[in-house]
Chain A
């Protein structure tokens, strides 16, 4: 148990729909990063939120957006879903006060787009 919880764990959406994924970070952690992991691939960095502001973004289109709330929990929103968005979405939380090895992953949200 890492203390990072994600919801929902599994969901199925139709192409063109929108989805919101949620992440509650480890207590005391102020940074949340989101990753997309397609089958057979390594996780790809989507973006990071630090103290409610976006703090770096990977090579993902604007239809991938996010939020971080005052309690440091976070949401990932994906609009206009495409079939290739089917993947495991991972949330990782960390703190700027800790060394790099205190980064904790949630169990992920499995998204299937049909």
Chain B
């Protein structure tokens, strides 16, 4: 996905915290999205970071460091319904370019 790198799979336990990392090339960067995608469904928007720092939205938080080309999505108090793929996507010259996604498995 045009040098957007994120782990292929992760496993975590219900009630725990998990951090999904994403690195990207910084050329033409306008912002960074995180999307959630359940199997067989379209992606749904979680967050959009333009400036450096942490943005919190309920159980989900997203962090961005533009100088390092690095972001993470933090999921707290994991629930079984959080089992999904999480897509990191870069707004590059007003086109959204996606990584390959991270499949998150939640164990009871």
Binding site for B on A (CB under 8 A): 33, 35, 41-45, 48, 56, 88, 90, 92, 96, 99-101, 103-108
Contact = CB atoms under 8 A, between A and B. Distances in A.
Contact of B48 (A35, A56, A101): A101
A100 B94 CA distance: 8
Interface of B: 1, 30-31, 33, 41-45, 48, 50, 87, 89, 91, 93-101
A89 B31 CA distance: 23
Nearest to B32: A100
Contact of B42 (A42, A44, A101, A105): A105
17 contacts: A41-B101, A42-B1, A42-B87, A42-B98, A42-B100, A42-B101, A48-B95, A56-B93, A56-B95, A90-B42, A90-B43, A92-B96, A100-B31, A100-B94, A105-B44, A107-B41, A108-B42
B6 to A, nearest CB: 9
Contacts of A35: 98
Main secondary structure of the interface of B (DSSP, over half): strand
Nearest to A108: B42
Closest CB pairs A-B (n = 6): A101-B48, A42-B98, A42-B100, A42-B101, A100-B31, A43-B98
Nearest to A103: B96
Contacts of B44: 105
